[in-house]
């Protein structure tokens, strides 16, 4: 009797969902493997869009992917639940019970057996243990986080429009800690939203006077992970938009009223977003005896196999993969996760056949940063061209194409083309800022 091998992917983020979709199409539909995706949510939203959801310039329900429907159309099985542990001896993933809002069990605890396991649970915000951050700052780790911030921001605008007393100091201010891509892009989107709210009738609010947007960065410049020639035009654009940029300052305390830096500067802001660093989820630390680093990432070899179990793979933000010739591992970026997912589609098939596995080589194709409707800057990198700096409409087109590439990996070229046409036709009819 032929036994179909079981491949389990835990985590339905950009990389995990791409991998499960492609494995389902290439192996699942052909009966060569039974592919299962496990995730604690029912829908997927591309994480680089979360800053738009938080600002209200994107309705999170317009672009989400239903895991159950995706599984049915792409040849894999979806299991709702959160991974609790791995039984390496029994080769099974232990899934925690799924509860409703009242704390009652919807789906009981269970196990999912595997022959090959891939962990792709992504990352969460790293608060570095700084006082008050967990209690008083918003994180953008999930769609729920972004939706919650957007609702609170909208409520604060409504309150400011209707209250009889003067605005409190910092009532509409937003302080963003971390000047990476997320922080910079969010600041630009929030500048756009402040002016759009006035256009929608919030006429008691004067953005130039009442809304203060501040970015605080511990490094000596914004976008510290990107080339300086990319950061400089982005900083010039932020300053043109009256976004205050504080570099070389570490936040040492967060409170309801604002943030305090290491040199005593107090920044009044009732809305605070922490985007200063990431780590893998805490439950990965010492999971099933697998090797992890100080950021809770699973340590993997260049084949993306974990160092202590050849049948458990990890990739994306939750994995630390060596990068030959560099003192740091592969960076936790969307393009790295996409490259690793593409490699694993081939590697897992080879592993099932008992063949040697290829090693992952990170290729940096450049970076793009969007400053809402105002500007987009970036650099493209290639073997022949080296690094090419791009700005303006070309950079904006390229930035938007990144999401289309993700959609193509999930849905195929035809459906992605139809989605582009549908978005083009319906976008002019949608409100430019979400007001609910």
CATH architecture of 128-141+167-277: 3-Layer(bba) Sandwich (3.50)
Indicate the burial class of 421 (C-beta count within 10 angstroms; 0-12, 13-18, 19 or more).
Answer: exposed
Contact status, residue 297 vs residue 284, Cβ threshold 8 Å: yes
Among residues 208, 209, 216, 275, the alpha carbon closest in space to that of 244 is found at 216
HEC sequence for 354-423: CCCCCCCCCCCCEEEEEECCCEEEEEEEECCCEEEEEEHHHHHHHHHHHHHHHHHHHHCHHHHHHHHHHH
- Looking at every residue in the chain, the average pLDDT score rounds to 90
pLDDT score of 418: 86
Q: Is the pTM of this model over 0.85?
A: yes
Does the 6-124+279-352 domain belong in CATH 3.40.50.720?
A: no
pLDDT at 365: 76
Degrees, nearest 5: CA angle 364-217-140 = 70
Same CATH topology for 6-124+279-352 and 128-141+167-277: the answer is: yes
Over residues 153-181, the mean pLDDT reads 94
pLDDT higher than threshold 60 for residue 24:
yes
User: pLDDT, tens digit, for every residue of 378-412?
Assistant: 665 544 344 556 666 566 677 778 888 888 888 88
Q: Where are the domains of the chain?
A: 6-124+279-352, 128-141+167-277, 366-429
Query: Tokens 């409190």 — which residue?
Result: 168
Q: How many residues in total does the chain contain?
A: 436
Crossing angle of helices 392-411 and 334-352, in 10° steps, is 30
pLDDT-derived band at 72 (thresholds 50, 70, 90) equals very high
- Mean pLDDT is lowest, of 59-63, 80-84, 221-225, 414-418, for 59-63
Task: Report pLDDT for 384.
Answer: 39
- Beta bridge partners of residue 388, listed in sequence order: 380
What pLDDT sits at residue 316?
96
């Amino acid at each position: 009797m032929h036994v179909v091998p079981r491949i389990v992917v835990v985590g339905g983020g950009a990389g995990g969902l791409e991998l499960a979709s492609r494995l389902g199409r290439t192996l699942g539909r052909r009966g060569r493997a039974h592919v299962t995706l496990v995730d604690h949510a029912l829908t997927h939203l591309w994480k680089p869009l979360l800053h738009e959801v938080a600002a209200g310039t994107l309705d999170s329900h317009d672009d989400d992917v239903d895991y159950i429907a995706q599984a049915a159309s792409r040849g894999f099985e979806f299991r709702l639940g959160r991974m609790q542990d791995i039984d390496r001896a029994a080769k099974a993933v232990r899934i925690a019970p799924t509860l409703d809002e009242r704390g009652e069990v919807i789906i009981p605890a269970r196990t999912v057996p595997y022959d090959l396991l891939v962990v792709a649970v992504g990352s969460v915000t790293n608060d570095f243990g700084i006082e008050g951050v967990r209690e008083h700052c918003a994180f953008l780790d999930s769609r729920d986080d972004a939706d919650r911030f957007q609702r609170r921001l909208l409520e604060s605008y409504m309150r400011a429009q209707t209250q009889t007393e003067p605005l409190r100091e910092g009532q509409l201010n937003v302080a963003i800690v971390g000047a990476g891509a997320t922080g910079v892009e969010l600041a630009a989107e929030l500048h756009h939203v402040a002016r759009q709210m006035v256009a929608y009738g919030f006429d008691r609010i004067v953005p130039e006077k009442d809304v203060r947007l501040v970015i605080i960065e511990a490094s000596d410049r914004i976008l510290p992970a990107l080339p300086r020639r990319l950061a400089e035009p982005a900083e010039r654009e932020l300053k043109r938009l009256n976004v205050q940029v504080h570099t070389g300052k570490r936040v040492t305390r967060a409170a309801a009223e604002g943030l305090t830096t290491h040199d005593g500067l107090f920044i009044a802001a009732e809305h605070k977003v922490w985007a200063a660093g990431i780590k893998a989820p805490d439950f990965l630390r010492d999971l099933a005896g697998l090797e992890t680093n100080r950021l809770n990432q699973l340590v993997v070899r260049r084949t993306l196999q974990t160092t202590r179990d050849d049948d458990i793979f990890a990739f994306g933000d939750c994995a630390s993969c060596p990068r030959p010739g560099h003192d740091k591992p592969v960076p936790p970026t969307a393009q790295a996760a996409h490259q690793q997912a593409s490699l694993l589609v081939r590697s897992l098939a080879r592993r099932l056949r008992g063949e040697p596995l290829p090693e992952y080589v990170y290729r940096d194709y450049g970076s793009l940063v969007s400053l809402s409707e105002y500007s987009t800057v970036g650099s493209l990198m290639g073997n022949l061209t080296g690094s090419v700096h791009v700005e303006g409409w070309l950079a904006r087109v390229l930035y938007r194409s990144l999401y289309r590439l993700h959609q193509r990996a999930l849905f195929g070229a035809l459906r992605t083309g139809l989605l582009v046409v549908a978005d083009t036709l319906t976008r002019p009819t949608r409100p430019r800022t979400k007001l609910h």
